[in-house]
């Protein structure tokens, strides 16, 4: 932590600041520059509230140098993390695509879409069995029946399964039928759930919360990592802003920012970020160009009949065209899909 001292601060104020820092357990290092004095505080604690120092007389500003997240940080691990799931690798040079319906609706639907996914060369099938709906009257998912159906469909076409877990008592079932646990935006700060998936032996895709800063998002990843589960990757899915011509605002800049600060792979989900079918391909292309390690896309062959998120589902032919475009962009930046 660095404390910048006000130009007009008195010696008494400066020694008071130093005394406060030492009382909090920091080692201090004062440096008097030509323009202003700075105090370096060494030994910053994860949860230290910098406002305690900022409020002292004579303090101009306080900067935290060490990020509060440790295991997720680039300083903890310089090389990009990769996650191996059967013969698929998440992260690294390859860009992984996840596709499938918003919800698993029936055996016929999930088999139809699993075939589309496999024929597009995609390795990971998505589909929600437990759905986090804004309304309690909306379709809530098929539950365990849905998990069984998506597993069966994925096995038929040699795919991996990713599906969302909403609460602690669903973790065992999700781990039994899925290859990757999805932790959704609404649960990004469900700390009890984060701790439990931290003990699970399945990789976790952690979506960014609806109004979460990147730091809060990485702190949530830290919960999972500190529980012992090292197989975590992130997914940007849009954040809430004042803009309402799109479902959310797609924060494309989160991709390079996360890459700078963390070694964890970062995916993008333009479907939930934008929410409008025709706006999803351009945003997916942009996410590949921005360096995303993976893209998640919702698809449906009968979107008008979909039980959730029909308006944002790409039709199979639109998806397959998007795949060819994303492949071109990936190869232009030296990556592959
Ligand atoms: C989903 O991917 O099915 C989903 C509900 O997304 P989010 O948590 O990003 O809203
Ligand atoms: Mn959805």
Same domain assignment for residues 102 and 38: no
What does the block give as tokens for 195? Answer: 């701790």
Pick from 44-48, 71-75, 76-80, 112-116 the range whose average pLDDT is largest.
112-116
Pick from 21-30, 31-40, 201-210 the range whose average pLDDT is largest.
201-210
Same domain assignment for residues 123 and 246: yes
Same domain assignment for residues 212 and 246: yes
What would you report as the CA-atom Rg of the chain, rounded to the nearest whole angstrom?
Answer: 23
> Is 270 close to ligand 1, i.e. is its CB under 6 Å away?
no
Under the banding of pLDDT at 50, 70 and 90, the label for residue 40 is confident
Average pLDDT over every residue of 250-267: 97
Number of domains in the chain: 2
Q: Residue 72 domain-assigned?
A: no
Query: What percentage of the chain carries pLDDT values higher than 70?
Result: 99
Q: Residue 233 domain-assigned?
A: yes
Q: Residue 337 domain-assigned?
A: no
> Is 297 close to ligand 1, i.e. is its CB under 6 Å away?
no
Pocket test for ligand 1, best of 101, 104, 105, 132 (most atoms within 8 A of CB): 132
Under the banding of pLDDT at 50, 70 and 90, the label for residue 106 is very high
Which CATH number do you get for residue 141?
Answer: 3.20.20.70
Angstrom distance (rounded) from CA 51 to CA 35: 24
Same domain assignment for residues 22 and 166: no
Give the Å distance between the CA of 33 and the centre of ligand 2: 54
Q: How far is CA 179 from CA 1, 47, 85, 276, 296, in A?
A: 40, 33, 7, 29, 15
> Is 208 close to ligand 1, i.e. is its CB under 6 Å away?
no
Domain that holds residue 183: 83-332
Contacts of 143 (CB under 8 A, 6+ apart): 129, 130
> Is 247 close to ligand 1, i.e. is its CB under 6 Å away?
no
> Is 198 close to ligand 1, i.e. is its CB under 6 Å away?
no
Q: Residue 75 domain-assigned?
A: no
Same domain assignment for residues 39 and 111: no
Query: Closest Cα to atom 3, ligand 1: which residue?
Result: 102
Which CATH number do you get for residue 9?
Answer: 3.30.70.1140
Same domain assignment for residues 257 and 175: yes
CA 55, distance to chain mean position in Å, is 34
Under the banding of pLDDT at 50, 70 and 90, the label for residue 82 is very high
Under the banding of pLDDT at 50, 70 and 90, the label for residue 65 is low
Q: Residue 185 domain-assigned?
A: yes
Under the banding of pLDDT at 50, 70 and 90, the label for residue 67 is confident
pLDDT in tens, 282-315: 999 999 999 999 999 999 999 999 999 999 999 9
Task: Among 16-30, 111-125, 187-201, name the one with the lowest average pLDDT.
Answer: 16-30
pLDDT in tens, 212-241: 999 999 999 999 999 999 999 999 999 999
């Amino acid at each position: 932590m660095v404390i910048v001292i006000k130009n007009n601060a008195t010696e008494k104020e400066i020694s008071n600041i130093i005394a406060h820092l030492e009382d909090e357990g920091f080692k201090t290092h004062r440096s008097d520059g030509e323009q202003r004095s700075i105090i370096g505080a060494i030994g910053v604690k994860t949860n230290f509230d910098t406002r305690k120092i900022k409020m002292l007389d004579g303090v101009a500003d306080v900067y935290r140098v060490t990020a509060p997240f440790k295991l997720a940080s680039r300083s903890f691990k310089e090389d990009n993390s990769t996650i191996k799931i059967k013969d698929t690798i998440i992260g690294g040079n390859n860009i992984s695509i996840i596709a499938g319906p918003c919800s698993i609706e029936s055996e016929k639907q999930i088999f139809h879409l699993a075939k589309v996914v496999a024929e597009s060369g995609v390795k990971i099938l998505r589909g929600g069995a437990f759905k986090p709906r804004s309304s309690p009257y909306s379709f809530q998912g098929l539950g365990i029946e849905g998990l069984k159906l998506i597993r069966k469909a994925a096995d038929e076409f040699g795919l991996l399964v990713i599906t969302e877990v909403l609460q602690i008592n669903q973790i065992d079932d999700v781990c039994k039928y899925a290859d990757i646990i999805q932790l959704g935006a609404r649960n990004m700060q469900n700390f009890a759930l984060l701790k439990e998936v931290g003990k699970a032996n399945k990789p976790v895709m952690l979506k960014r919360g609806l109004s979460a800063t990147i730091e809060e998002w990485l702190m949530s990843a830290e919960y999972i990592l500190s529980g012992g589960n090292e197989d975590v990757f992130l997914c940007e899915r849009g954040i809430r802003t004042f803009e309402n011509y799109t479902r959310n605002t797609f924060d494309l800049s989160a991709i390079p920012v996360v890459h700078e600060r963390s070694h964890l792979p970062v995916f993008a989900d333009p479907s939930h970020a934008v929410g409008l079918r025709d706006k999803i391909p351009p945003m997916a292309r942009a996410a590949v160009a921005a360096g995303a390690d993976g893209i998640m896309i919702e698809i449906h062959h009968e979107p008008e009949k979909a039980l959730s998120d029909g308006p944002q589902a790409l039709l199979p032919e639109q998806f397959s065209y998007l795949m060819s475009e994303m492949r071109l962009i990936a190869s232009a930046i030296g990556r592959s899909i």
